[in-house]
Amino acid sequence: MWIGSYIDWNSSKFIQFNFANVHINNSERFINKLLEAKVRMPAILRIDVDTAYQNRILNYARVNKEVFLGIDSLGYLRSCKVIADDLFERGITASFFFLPFTLPSREFVQELMKEGHNVGLHAVHTKEYTDFSADVQTASKSLGKILGFTKHGSGKFKLSRSHDPNYNPDKFIDFARMSNLKFFLGNGENPNEGWQYKDGVLYSPSAFWLNRNYREDNFTVDWLIKASRDRDVVVLMHPEDVTEGTNLMTREYERIMGKVEFMPVLQKIEQTGMK
Ligand SMILES: [Zn+2]
């Protein structure tokens, strides 16, 4: 069964792998030990794609009214494509997470995967498991088999009828397990928290947010550059943080991309021996 791929930049090989032989319970302790160990590992670039169109009215119609407006001619996913082009120039691989309203065409998914990126679900209907499961089904039609997810919104606002604004990691680890997903990247704001492995799900509680509204003052870019030398920190950004953001965010993005080494999240999973 083929369910994932990435490019190994050291050998320039296109690697495909599967999780058909995962043995979960007997290796939980081993994997947690491995996660605690300080080993040289690249960081993970998590890109949540929240915006379908840069035009506010089009975006509102797409995201809030679930209107389908035709894909490319109106600039669908333009910010995301700008970032993907930029990462390609820099030789950086990332993990892109799409809302049910920002799902890419299959052609674009193939392009991202060919460039070594991973794709996953940015879940928004998170109140009940059935809603979440429906999101997974919808997303898999354009993304292929879903292996993991991130959650839209970090506790402050309720974004739709079936959106759970609360951030309750145990619930989401449970959702992941029930949908047979392998990882969940959390929205916490303390990037000192390490990865955990629970019930067959690899879980990162927190991220280093590019947007400083979600970052304590001590988590500077210098902190990240230093921490990422011996810790696999998750760096969280949205395409529009850079394409529409402040000069400060653009400058910090430039510095991070220049100084931090990244790997796609499935490569991290492979390194833990979960395959
Ligand atoms: Zn989001």
Domain ranges of the chain: 28-271
Report the separation in Å between the CA atom of 25 and the middle of ligand 1, taken as the mean of its atom positions: 32
Report the separation in Å between the CA atom of 8 and the middle of ligand 1, taken as the mean of its atom positions: 29
Helix (H, G, I), strand (E, B) or coil at 19: coil
* CA atoms within 13 Å, Cβ hemisphere of 63: 23
CA distance 129 to 91: 37
Report the separation in Å between the CA atom of 122 and the middle of ligand 1, taken as the mean of its atom positions: 7
pLDDT given for residue 56 in this prediction = 75
Report the separation in Å between the CA atom of 63 and the middle of ligand 1, taken as the mean of its atom positions: 11
Report the separation in Å between the CA atom of 39 and the middle of ligand 1, taken as the mean of its atom positions: 30
- Residue 73: which pLDDT band, with cuts at 50, 70 and 90? low
pLDDT given for residue 7 in this prediction = 42
Mean pLDDT calculated for residue range 196-213: 92
Question: Residue 82: phi, psi to the nearest 5?
Answer: -60, -45
Report the separation in Å between the CA atom of 27 and the middle of ligand 1, taken as the mean of its atom positions: 32
Report the separation in Å between the CA atom of 29 and the middle of ligand 1, taken as the mean of its atom positions: 32
**Mean pLDDT for the chain?**
83
- C-alpha gyration radius of the chain: 18
Q: Which CATH code is given to the segment(s) 28-271? A: 3.20.20.370
pTM, 2 dp: 0.84
CA distance from start to end of the chain: 12
Report the separation in Å between the CA atom of 48 and the middle of ligand 1, taken as the mean of its atom positions: 6
Q: What percent of the chain clears pLDDT 70, i.e. is strictly above it?
A: 77
Helix (H, G, I), strand (E, B) or coil at 164: coil
- Residue 250: which pLDDT band, with cuts at 50, 70 and 90? very high
- Residue 59: which pLDDT band, with cuts at 50, 70 and 90? confident
Report the separation in Å between the CA atom of 237 and the middle of ligand 1, taken as the mean of its atom positions: 9
* Res. 19: pLDDT tops 60: no
- Residue 127: which pLDDT band, with cuts at 50, 70 and 90? confident
Burial grade of 127 (CB within 10 A; 0-12, 13-18, 19 or more): middle
Six token digits for residue 241: 């943080």
- Residue 113: which pLDDT band, with cuts at 50, 70 and 90? very high
Segment among 18-22, 194-198, 225-229 with least mean pLDDT: 18-22
CA distance 63 to 60: 5
Helix (H, G, I), strand (E, B) or coil at 175: helix
